[in-house]
Amino acid sequence: MRYFALIVILIFTTGCEEKNIKPVIMEAVDTDRIPVQESWDSQIIFTDNGEQQAILYADHIIVYEDEEEKAKHLEGVKIDFYDQDGHISSVLTSKRGRVDDVTNDMYAIDSVVAVSDSGVVLETDELLFRNSDNKIVSDRFVTITSDDEKIEGYGFESDQGLDNYTIFNITYYTRLEKNK
């Protein structure tokens, strides 16, 4: 039994010798692009003279401390746009987005869909909500579908409620039959 105890003590003492362990350093991390702020399941309220214009909901908001780019990067975006009476006039969704902190312009990127309260549906890859005049604009390919027509083309401008819109270079147009 003595020899057993001696062997156990020798095993523990040799196993406890001091080793210098070098930490693993991830070289792929860009230390200049580490976020200064992150939030999940958040909302940003846009107002003009105290009146609610829009509420942006995001699954993930990332803010970087960058002198050249003052913006919030968004993932999982949904925006409710409000009319002057305080009712939701349209809803926009996209996979990603960005809000310019200087102008409050909002860029929707990837699988962008906007639906108005009247049933007009806008689909595109990228668009901009211009805060200065409350316009939705895009220079990309867009599809607009309403109850009675479908229009496709390049370049688009509309009010935030999708009531008055223009497609600048129409590539396809058709009248739709109403369901009776």
Please give the residue range of the domain that contains residue 79.
Answer: 23-175
Q: Please report, in tens digits, the pLDDT of each residue of the chain (180 residues total).
A: 666 666 666 666 665 555 667 766 656 655 566 788 889 999 988 887 888 888 989 999 998 877 667 888 999 999 998 888 889 989 999 999 998 888 888 899 999 999 999 899 999 999 998 888 888 999 999 999 999 999 999 999 998 888 899 999 999 999 988 754
154 within some domain:
yes
- What does the block give as tokens for 99? 């809000």
Q: Is there a domain that residue 1 lies in?
A: no
**Structurally, how many domains does the chain consist of?**
1
CATH number at residue 129: 2.60.450.10
Q: Is residue 13 included in any domain, yes or no?
A: no
In degrees and rounded to multiples of 5, residue 146 shows phi and psi of -125, -175
Q: Is 111 in contact with 126 (CB distance < 8 Å)?
A: no
- Does some domain include residue 4? no
pLDDT of residue 5: 64
Phi, psi for 138 (deg, rounded to 5):
-155, 145
Q: What is the pLDDT of residue 19?
A: 64
Q: How far apart are the two ends of the chain, measured CA to CA in Å?
A: 95
Position 3 in a domain = no
Distance CA 172, CA 175 (A): 11
Residue 31 lies inside a defined structural domain of this protein: yes
**Residue 38 within a domain:** yes
17 assigned to some structural domain? no
Q: How far apart are CA 133 and CA 119, in angstroms?
A: 23
